[in-house]
A and B are shown apart, each in its own frame.
Chain A
Amino acid sequence: MSIVAKVIAQSDRADRFLGSTELTQLQDFFNNSDVRISASQKLAANQQRIVEKGSQQFWNQCPDTPSNRGVKQKTALCQRDQGWYIRLVSYCVLAGNSKPLEDIGLDGMRDMYVSLNVPLSNLRMAMRCLKQAAMGLLSSEEAALAGPYFDQLIRSF
């Protein structure tokens, strides 16, 4: 769901046209659409780099973790998931809303990693490193749009 769908659903529930706050929200959203596009393109183009850099940072801080025990498959899986989370953040930036992250990547996430025996606290650290690596590549305007979704991701672990 996007911010547009969100304010429409909200107005619909109240049986009214959009209110002035909602209209302003949409105006702000459309006003910085260029930044949204460029942020999402940078995340897409640099996904691999962000994951590599983030992982390195993460393993420095937390060497004893499933993705750093020499089992290639586990390392690949962990990095694949991190790449996915970057993609979900890029969706959120374009949608102006955290729903894509929540619906696709957070709903059920804990159960999944617990069943895979991946310590959530380690993942939390990994996601923090991922954020840092991503922020380093974005302009301050782009970072201001993407940062909160990374924060939400980190908080959810």
Chain B
Amino acid sequence: MQDTITSLINPADEKGLYLEGSALDTLQQYFKTGALRVKAASQIGESADSIISTTVEKSLLYGDITLPGGNMYPTRRYAACLRDLAYFLRYATYAMLAADASILDERILNGLKDTYSSLGVPIEPTIQAVQAMKEVVTQRVGSEAGQEMSVYLDHIVSGLS
């Protein structure tokens, strides 16, 4: 996986350069947000289960998708949906910490759309759930860290669209 630091060091090394100028500025900006990112990752990790339940309640629970014939019925598929949302949350958190989306692409998004269409998982409700997750996460971590998380949750949305 890439992270912001590595993605700045590698091209500098290709040219035999120290980190300087705009690359160093970018790194400095990232360092400045480090404490915020670590705190948010800690809060999200501690309350992941409750973030997922609230997300489902806000987006999927009261719709047709949980009824017979829906893709969250029976319970086995409900549980699979919870598991996938938990993956989204965890990998978005990793990406937010790294300030780099590559781990999301590598571990979640590559091939996801095809997998979902072959399993008959509807994309539209999935996207609604991720949108709801953005709100729930922002409530838990505050607006500044929430915005950072939204960057990577939006990345999931665009990967599914």
Contacts and interface: CB of A to CB of B under 8 A. Distances in A.
B140 interface: no
Contacts of B90: 16-17
Given A40-B19, A95-B5, A23 B41 contact: yes
B112 interface: no
Interface stretch (A28-36, A49-57, A113-121, A144-152): A28-36
Interface in B47-86: 48
Interface residues of B, number: 34
B6 A2 contact: yes
Given A30-B31, A30-B38, A37-B31, A5 B3 contact: yes
Nearest to A37: B28
B18 A4 contact: no
A31 B31 CA distance: 9
B5 A94 contact: yes
A153 interface: no
A27 B35 contact: yes
A76 interface: no
Interface residues of A, number: 36
A17 B31 CA distance: 21
Contact of B31 (A12, A16, A20, A33): A33
A44 B38 contact: no
Interface stretch (A66-74, A83-91, A124-132, A133-141): A83-91
B48 A94 contact: no
A9 interface: yes
B94 A11 contact: yes
A72 B41 CA distance: 54
B13 A91 contact: yes
A2 B34 contact: no
13 contacts: A1-B6, A4-B98, A8-B94, A8-B103, A11-B94, A12-B94, A18-B45, A20-B42, A36-B31, A40-B19, A91-B13, A91-B19, A94-B5
Interface of B: 1-6, 9, 12-13, 16-20, 24, 27-28, 31-32, 34-35, 38, 41-42, 44-45, 48, 90, 93-94, 97-98, 103, 107
Given A18-B42, A34-B31, 13 more contacts: A1-B3, A2-B5, A5-B2, A12-B94, A12-B103, A23-B45, A27-B34, A37-B31, A40-B18, A44-B18, A84-B16, A91-B12, A95-B6
